[in-house]
Amino acid sequence: MIVNAIISQHYFKKVLKPFLLEVLYDEYFSFGLKRRILLKIIPDLDNKKIEDLNRLNTIRNYFAHCNQEFFGISEKPKAGTKGIIPDPRNIEKGIDFERLYNEFIKKEYGVTKYLAEIFTNLGGVLKKE
């Protein structure tokens, strides 16, 4: 949301709800494209924070798309038995979702705070509701 708000704030000097909903929230308007726009409009971004933002997106994708458990061919799974969810980057390993969750929680606050500062520096106003 904050990346969308930064993009809208940059181009329109305010967050425009129709622009957010009709353009930036379109299912074909990818995170990668939003990141590229962010890099163009804010050329002096902190590389470490952008790496963390990219990692947050990767972790998000693991949770959203990697959820198929596999069991051995000869095994008949018992109730409550868990299979392995292969890591797409190394199918011999299973995904450790607890580790990914903890990594996400550790990085998210710093990235969100950094992006919120960019938004407010562009004249945006954050409200608690």
Q: Which of 99, 66, 103, 101 is nearest to 84 (CA)?
A: 66
The tens digit of pLDDT for each residue in 11-23 reads: 999 999 999 999 9
* Residue 71 confidence class, pLDDT cut points 50, 70, 90: confident
**Predicted pLDDT of residue 74:** 62
The 3-state secondary structure of the chain, one letter per residue: CHHHHHHHHHHHCCCCHHHHHHHHCCCCCCHHHHHHHHHHHCCCCCHHHHHHHHHHHHHHHHHHHCCCCECCCCCCCCCCCCCECEECCEEEEECCHHHHHHHHHHHHHHHHHHHHHHHHHCCCCCCCC
- Rounded to the nearest 10 degrees, the angle between the axes of helix 31-41 and helix 47-65 is 170
The tens digit of pLDDT for each residue in 74-128 reads: 666 667 777 788 888 988 888 999 999 999 999 999 999 999 999 999 999 998 7
The tens digit of pLDDT for each residue in 31-59 reads: 999 999 999 999 999 999 999 999 999 99
**How many C-alpha atoms does 99 have within 13 Å on its Cβ side?**
4
